[in-house]
């Protein structure tokens, strides 16, 4: 029996990778700042986290998301 599935992409795009990297950096900075009780740095990392999500959305709208016009589909 053969089942044909369509892979939705699972975020394998420049937009997704960029957003995730920015948000991971923000989360790491925020965690370290929370440990050292640097409140303003914690809030700055929250702002950076939101910026990461916005950057991912903007890049996806610009064609760098899954199935976007500026990404290439590679056959394995």
pLDDT at position 71, please? 82
pLDDT at position 37, please? 96
pLDDT at position 33, please? 98
Q: Is 27 contained in some domain? A: yes
Per-residue pLDDT of the chain (76 residues; tens, 9 = 90+): 566 666 666 678 999 999 999 999 999 999 999 999 999 999 999 999 999 999 999 999 999 988 888 887 666 5
Q: Is 30 contained in some domain? A: yes
Domain count, the chain: 1
Domain of 46? 14-64
- Distance, in Å, from the CA atom of 31 to the CA atom of 51, rounded to the nearest integer, reads 17
- Distance, in Å, from the CA atom of 56 to the CA atom of 1, rounded to the nearest integer, reads 39
Q: Is 74 contained in some domain? A: no
Question: Residue 21 has which token pair?
Answer: 């990297």
Q: Is 20 contained in some domain? A: yes
pLDDT at position 67, please? 83
| pTM, 2 dp | 0.81
């Amino acid at each position: 029996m053969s089942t044909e599935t369509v892979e939705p992409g699972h975020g394998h795009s420049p937009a997704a990778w960029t957003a995730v990297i920015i948000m991971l950096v923000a989360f790491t900075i925020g965690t370290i700042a929370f440990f050292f009780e640097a409140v303003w740095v914690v809030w700055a990392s929250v702002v950076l986290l939101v910026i990461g999500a916005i950057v991912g959305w903007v890049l996806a709208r610009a064609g760098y998301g899954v199935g976007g016009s500026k990404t290439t589909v590679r056959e394995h």
